[in-house]
Chains A and B, each alone.
Chain A
């Protein structure tokens, strides 16, 4: 694994929350390495710390202990402005609830990451149109999220995660709101369109039906990674 460049390299990550005077340990001594070109799934029961872990990986949340390097750079050491720029350039997000801006059309929603990165609106929307074509929504570019089905919305969200060519895509329960068939289509799309050699995917899920899309699966429980391994091994 060392010959491949690491997209994510987490060491001894710990994170605790204060909630109602009680200390809740969300993450405890997490070690995780994700290589470029790899699709890593984080699975585990609710409250096991999956979301906290990807928040830390994506640089949205600061860890209390340990270090987490993205493409060899430690986000926690960066100034917040640089961190934001880094995140804007290098990370794409797909959320469980899609989180599309409801008053923006599909193409406008997709162009948002580019606009955040300072690309002109016309250019960004042209690029967004191309990506939408790629995810099979070339005809629905002017539709508002409310006019699209769940699968279509998630495809728009994927297009949005891809549009600025990030090196890491973080997906939070991408299929939980979708039926089986649509979930399979979306995952296929993610694997086919999103994943390539210069990019890593981290998918948080507990949807067992999509485990077979993963290259490796990290199983979490109670703030620990209990096991990391290939799909078959885990399932068995």
Chain B
């Protein structure tokens, strides 16, 4: 009977393509829109992801997300260092400073100050230069996106492309001279500001005069140390907030979820896509069954039982569903691939594959269910009517 079901499905190419395209569209919109959403949201904590070495981030208890800097006193570093279970603890400065470009324009940069000795928390991928070059005087490392675009030198011809910042070029950070010694690749952040890495003490001299300048204390737990227990201990001992890598990501993510319009906007867009996709695909599939109702009636009259017919419809639904799903996610991936070098936020986690799979399945099951009810209720006697 499976063979018959497939033949029935593919017999009318136009309708078959229609159903598949409807489901492809549904699956595309259910994958692509969330992918952009996830991409955008993951940018909110991409800085935390990039700093992979430490297990725990210690900060002021009032910090709400990664860009919300409430600096600490320098001595807090040693207090954290003195807590048992801490393998090491390193300072990090993170702040927005104005950079003056050669053409006189100002650009706000995200300046990261790393521990002078170990340079922990540095950029994950160096495209040119070495992290160690930060030991040189006045040296900074700039991220490639910033170097290409916002920090780039003006084009000699008006309206032309900017010349990317290269190793050896100078910047002016808050009236201090800074020499680019390296270009790094970092994950784009939400604000997409250029990222400038330097050492902690140099960052302090770049930063405007403040009594406290320590943004974060990065902590590595001793091998075998339970992270959750250590965060509790740090909190109890210092009165500061301590979050594990993932907790801090979650904190940032939740802040953006709660305090920005992104989730609602994208949620509506995804929901609309889901509904439109479901409507198109469900409608087409239902129509298909409706038009084939007579054929099902013939089969029923000839003695095919409901279970057999149900299996046939399910098979048809599963087939068009999986084809539409495969094409949809394929197109989404293609879209992401085509956009990979642009500023577009796009992230395709495996959960999304499952999400859109579940969505398409839901549509198919729903459409099949209505069709099945129709077929089961069908009186085979209709076959005698012309």
Contact = CB atoms under 8 A, between A and B. Distances in A.
Interface of A: 51, 54-55, 58, 60-61, 81, 84-89, 91, 93, 95-97, 99, 101-104, 108, 112-113, 115-117, 121, 172-173
B4 A60 contact: no
Contacts of A99: 294-295, 298, 383
- In this complex, the member of B11, B295, B302, B381 whose beta carbon has the largest number of chain A beta carbons within 10 angstroms is B302
Given A101-B7, A112-B299, A116-B1, A60 B381 contact: yes
B301 interface: yes
Interface stretch (B95-103, B267-275, B303-311): B303-311
Nearest to A204: B384
B386 A96 contact: yes
B384 A104 contact: no
Contact of B302 (A54, A87, A96, A121): A87
A116 B308 CA distance: 9
Given A55-B384, A60-B383, A87-B303, 9 more contacts: A61-B381, A87-B301, A91-B303, A99-B294, A99-B295, A104-B11, A112-B302, A116-B1, A116-B304
22 contacts: A55-B381, A55-B384, A60-B384, A61-B381, A81-B305, A84-B303, A84-B305, A85-B303, A86-B303, A87-B302, A88-B302, A89-B303, A96-B384, A96-B386, A101-B298, A102-B11, A103-B10, A103-B12, A108-B3, A113-B303, A115-B3, A117-B303
B276 to A, nearest CB: 29
B165 to A, nearest CB: 64
A67 to B, nearest CB: 19
B3 A121 contact: yes
Contacts of B384: 51, 54-55, 60, 95-96, 172
A86 B301 CA distance: 11
Contacts of A116: 1, 299, 302-304, 308
Q: Is the interface of B mostly helix, strand, loop or mixed?
A: helix
Nearest to A88: B303
Interface string B362-386: 0000000000000000011101111
Contacts of A103: 7-8, 10-12
A104 B304 contact: no
A51 B1 contact: no
Contacts of A97: 386
A167 to B, nearest CB: 13
Interface string B1-35: 10110011011100000000000000000000000
B96 to A, nearest CB: 66
Contacts of B295: 99, 101-102
Contacts, number: 82
B4 A115 contact: yes
Kindly list the 10 A-B residue pairs having the minimum CB-CB distance in the complex, ordered from nearest: A103-B11, A88-B303, A87-B303, A51-B384, A99-B298, A55-B381, A60-B380, A116-B304, A84-B305, A103-B7
Contact of B301 (A51, A58, A104, A108): A58
A95 B308 contact: no
A93 B382 CA distance: 13
Contacts of A95: 298, 383-384
Nearest to B305: A84
Interface residues of B, number: 25
A21 to B, nearest CB: 20
Contacts of B301: 58, 60, 87, 93
A211 B139 CA distance: 107
B250 to A, nearest CB: 53
Contacts of A85: 303
Interface in B278-311: 294-295, 298-299, 301-305, 308
A95 B383 CA distance: 7
Contacts of B3: 108, 115, 121
A137 B386 CA distance: 25
- Looking at B3, B301, B379, B384, which has the most chain A CB atoms within 10 Å of its CB? B384
B28 to A, nearest CB: 28
A121 B3 CA distance: 9
A93 B379 CA distance: 16
Nearest to A51: B384
Nearest to A121: B3
Nearest to B297: A99
B110 to A, nearest CB: 62
Contacts of A121: 3
Looking at A58, A91, A101, the one whose CB has the most chain B CB atoms below 10 A away is A101
Contacts of A104: 4, 7-8, 11
A116 B303 CA distance: 7
B12 A51 contact: no
A155 B312 CA distance: 27
A35 B369 CA distance: 43
Nearest to A101: B295
A65 to B, nearest CB: 18
Contacts of A101: 4, 7-8, 11, 295, 298
A103 B303 CA distance: 20
Contacts of A58: 301
A58 B304 CA distance: 14
B383 A88 contact: no
A38 to B, nearest CB: 21
Kindly name the residue among A60, A89, A108, A172 whose own CB sees the greatest number of chain B CB atoms within 10 A.
A60
Contacts of A51: 381, 384-385
A165 to B, nearest CB: 14
